């Protein structure tokens, strides 16, 4: 992993649809050289996949939130698996994190109506070891630093 690999990763993180040719032009390298580097980054697991940036509000899931949780356990992996297995129709648990600070765990979720969040909250509190939850709604999402530079 060198500075060129890091630059490739930054470009792909910003726009996963860039062609190898376009990346090569930006970094002054040949398309085959970029292809070889990206293949190695994929094979090593550094690049895990590619994704699309979705406007979930336009797709009907405009409620986004962070749910903080305190649990009493020595097996966080078990709790995380139980949390991620919760099914609420119309609600998606996007990510589950183990964190430091006042709270032990955090979810990033999206939903279409607040009733779905209530159902999630009720399901979370049924998990053995779950002590408390705290939910913060996401009002707006700021631009990524790279986006802000491009739009100036």
pLDDT digits (tens, 9 = 90+) for 82-113: 999 999 999 999 999 999 999 999 999 999 99
What pLDDT does 142 receive?
78
141 contact partners, CB below 8 Å, separation of at least 6: 64
Query: Which two tokens mark 110?
Result: 């999206």
Mean pLDDT of 113-130: 97
Q: Write down the residue that tokens 């726009």 correspond to.
A: 15
What pLDDT does 136 receive?
98
Q: Residue 92's closest CA among 52, 140, 59? A: 59
Question: How far apart, in whole angstroms, are the C-alpha atoms of residue 50 and residue 66?
Answer: 24
pTM, two decimal places: 0.77
122: exposed, middle or buried (Cβ count in 10 Å: 0-12, 13-18, 19+): exposed
Residue 6: its H or E element? helix 3-14
Q: List, in order of start, the domains of the chain with CATH numbers.
A: 3-43 (1.10.10.10), 63-137 (3.30.70.920)
Residue 152 pLDDT grade (very low, low, confident, very high; cuts 50, 70, 90): very low
pLDDT digits (tens, 9 = 90+) for 41-93: 999 999 999 988 888 889 999 999 999 999 998 899 999 999 999 999 999 99
């Amino acid at each position: 992993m060198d500075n060129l690999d890091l630059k490739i990763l930054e470009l792909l993180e910003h726009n996963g649809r860039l062609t190898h040719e376009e990346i090569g032009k930006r970094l002054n390298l040949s398309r085959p050289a970029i292809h070889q580097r990206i293949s190695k980054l994929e094979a090593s697991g550094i690049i895990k996949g590619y994704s699309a940036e979705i406007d979930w509000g336009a797709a009907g899931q405009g409620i986004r939130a962070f749910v903080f949780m305190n649990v009493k356990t020595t097996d966080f992996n078990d709790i995380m698996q139980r949390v991620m297995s919760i099914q609420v129709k119309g609600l998606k648990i996007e990510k589950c994190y183990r964190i430091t600070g006042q709270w032990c765990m955090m979810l990033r979720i999206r939903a279409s109506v607040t009733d779905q969040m209530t159902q999630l909250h009720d399901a979370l509190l049924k998990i053995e070891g779950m002590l408390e939850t705290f939910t913060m709604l996401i009002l707006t999402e700021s631009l990524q630093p790279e986006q802000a530079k491009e739009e100036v």
